Amino acid sequence: MLEAIRRAVTLLRQKQILHRLGVAISVAVIGIACYVLYHMLRHIDAQEVLEAIKDTEPHQIVLAALFVAAGYFTLTFYDLFAVRAIGRPDIPYRINALAAFTSYSIGHNVGASVFTGGAVRYRIYSAWGLNAIDVAKICFLAGLTFWLGNAAVLGLGIAYHPEAATAIDQLPPWLNRLAALGIILALVVYVAWVSLRPRGVGRGPWTVILPGGSLTLLQIAIGIVDLGFCALAMYVLVPDEPNLGFVVVAVIFVAATLLGFASHSPGGLGVFDAAMLVGLWQMDREDLLGGMLLFRLLYYIAPFVISVILLTFREVIIGGRNKRLRQVTDGLKVEPHREAAYVRERRDTGA
């Protein structure tokens, strides 16, 4: 069965069907999101949105910022876990943290995070002797942690409160709960599968050994904590609705985030926002938009600016270090010539 699936996927790749299908899905998601946003925002009062932002309590913004910082701190463990999983425990945590923070914050804003985040990671990890294949494995394992966490949050959240997903997909709650139980079952089967014996994906040097059962549970825990902090940041900023608890907001937030990733638009722009507006339709739209704009400022724009500054300083420091190294190397090369000239001069003058 698995071999048949592998052959089918290989055939689809050779025909470039998967690539075309991915592009078609991205375009469709963005198109639907634009249509939804147009109809939901055409009567929005921009002045009321600004007033909602101004009326946000300072302690809410500070608390949301702390949750965002905690979320990005958790993201650093994605790379820490992945780098050690490929057998490079010698790379210090500070490098893992820099690679994870900058790759995710830049990838989130630029879009196509698989490529942009991978390029940032390669620039950082290549200085430690990792090649493109190693970085690709790190990206794969970090992405696996992310998707396992998403699946766990969606499965548990929708199983507990299926009406939250109904607001977005318009499916009956019983069907959403059934799908959620299917996601949980798939996770249990996957954990059992990798627990039985070492499993690998890919071929040749591209083969990645999947983490075992206990490490997979650790991956799921890391993903859940990361998404939990991000959802808390959003929950603090959106309007307070008595009938909408944290679980509802978290499920809608994760679903909107996944739709944003599927669109490959920078920061899920348009897609994420449309999903949030549809899912949280009970909230005042101007107040909800104000909270979403503040979230974008804290989660996307601020980390992006910090990442650019960090990478710029890093390049300046590395450039200065390389320049000094070249000067020392050139000096060592020139010195023997100076000594030979000095010897010839003394010989010619009879000194």
CA angle 110-100-128, nearest 5°?
Answer: 115
Q: How far is 292 from 57, CA to CA, in rounded Å?
A: 15
**189 within a domain of the structure (yes/no):** yes
Q: What is the overall mean pLDDT for the chain?
A: 80
Question: Per-residue pLDDT for 349 more than 70?
Answer: no
**330 within a domain of the structure (yes/no):** no
Q: How far is 64 from 267, CA to CA, in rounded Å?
A: 18
pLDDT at residue number 335: 52
**62 within a domain of the structure (yes/no):** yes
Report residue 60's pLDDT band, with 50, 70 and 90 as the boundaries: very high
pLDDT at residue number 278: 82
Question: Per-residue pLDDT for 8 more than 70?
Answer: no
Tokens of 26: 């991205």
pLDDT at residue number 193: 93
**What are 6-11's contacts with CB under 8 Å, separation 24+?**
none
Report residue 45's pLDDT band, with 50, 70 and 90 as the boundaries: low
**351 within a domain of the structure (yes/no):** no
Instruction: Identify which of 42-46, 278-282, 335-339 has the greatest average pLDDT.
Output: 278-282
Mean pLDDT calculated for residue range 64-77? 94
Chain length of the chain? 351
pLDDT at residue number 199: 86
Report residue 20's pLDDT band, with 50, 70 and 90 as the boundaries: low
**177 within a domain of the structure (yes/no):** yes
pLDDT at residue number 295: 92
Mean pLDDT calculated for residue range 173-196? 93
- The answer for residues whose C-beta is within 8 angstroms of residue 65's C-beta and 6 or more apart is 233, 298
pLDDT at residue number 235: 93
pLDDT at residue number 91: 92
141/35: higher pLDDT: 141
Q: What domain range includes position 126?
A: 2-325
- The answer for residues whose C-beta is within 8 angstroms of residue 44's C-beta and 6 or more apart is 285, 286, 289
Question: Per-residue pLDDT for 14 more than 70?
Answer: no
Report residue 1's pLDDT band, with 50, 70 and 90 as the boundaries: very low
Question: Per-residue pLDDT for 61 more than 90?
Answer: yes
CB 274 within 8 A of CB 262: no
**166 within a domain of the structure (yes/no):** yes
Q: How far is 201 from 30, CA to CA, in rounded Å?
A: 31
**349 within a domain of the structure (yes/no):** no
Strands 200-201 and 208-209: what pairing? antiparallel
Give tens-digit pLDDT for 72-124.
999 999 999 999 998 889 999 999 999 999 998 888 777 666 677 888 898 89
pLDDT at residue number 36: 56
Q: What is the pTM of this model?
A: 0.79
Give tens-digit pLDDT for 301-322.
899 999 989 988 888 888 777 7
pLDDT at residue number 219: 92
Give tens-digit pLDDT for 229-281.
999 999 999 888 777 788 888 888 988 888 777 766 666 666 787 888 888 88
Question: Per-residue pLDDT for 22 more than 60?
Answer: no
**185 within a domain of the structure (yes/no):** yes
pLDDT at residue number 188: 94
2/321: higher pLDDT: 321
pLDDT at residue number 217: 93
State how many domains the chain has: 1
